[in-house]
A = this chain, B = another copy of it.
Amino acid sequence: MKNKAVVLLSGGLDSATTLAIANSENKDCYALSFNYSQRHKIEIQAAKKIAEDFCVSGHKILDMDLSQIGGSALTDPSIDIPSSPTTGIPVTYVPARNTIFLAFALAYAETLNANEIYIGVNAVDYSGYPDCRPEYVTAFQDLANLATRAGVEGNMLRISTPLIKMTKAEIISKAVELNVNLALTVSCYQPDTQGRACGICDSCRFRQKGFRDAGLKDPTRYAS
């Protein structure tokens, strides 16, 4: 019998590739996505299609209103998305987002009796978000094993981050190797009403550079 795993699936390139990797590692995959009042809600539709493409055993989409917390350009429409690189942690950082997402993944894993959570964090071609670093992931795993019934009973849970040390180009090559339909993935933080990517936000720029470095054509439709 396959081991069950929860896979955090935003609908972007990294999480889709992470799902493909979990699948290739013969895991019984349960995807988890969030409708958290993000600007780029279109990614949820992408997540649905990607989950179907990989025939996951389950896909939950949880609603929560992070705009009530605010503090990020992704959840507060009054803060603009930067169109050029900034120093330090950018305004697109969402306070404690990965901690919130991993906490729900932990709850889902516990009810499924899954002993693994996959998350597509990356600490190479990334925006410098603190909750994407390896030491953060290790701390969450330590916490998870103290937090739950499963941990108390000795069923240790693992947080798997297969992309953490890969460049964006390496992630894209891996995605192609594992037959991820890259046209389904959405990276842009502020797609227009026709679903076209802006081409100027951090996330678009990392994606475009990744495709260039990998020598591959990006199937994304860009507004300009």
Contacts and interface: CB of A to CB of B under 8 A. Distances in A.
A133 B107 contact: no
Given A60-B68, A136-B143, A130 B104 contact: no
B146 A139 contact: yes
A71 B103 contact: no
Copies of this protein in the complex: 2
A116 to B, nearest CB: 15
B111 A95 contact: yes
Contacts of A62: 64-65, 68-69
Interface string A128-140: 0011010110011
A92 to B, nearest CB: 12
Interface stretch (A38-46, A148-156, A165-173): A148-156
Interface footprint category on A: 35 or more
Contact of A106 (B95, B106, B144): B95
Given A130-B147, A152-B89, A107 B139 contact: no
B107 A69 contact: yes
Contact of A111 (B70, B97, B136, B147): B70
Contacts of A99: 103, 106-107, 143-144, 147
Nearest to A69: B107
The winner among A98, A143, A151 for most chain B CB atoms within 10 A is: A143
10 contacts: A60-B69, A62-B69, A89-B149, A99-B107, A99-B143, A130-B148, A130-B149, A131-B148, A136-B143, A142-B142
Given A64-B64, A69-B107, 6 more contacts: A63-B63, A89-B149, A130-B147, A131-B146, A131-B148, A142-B143
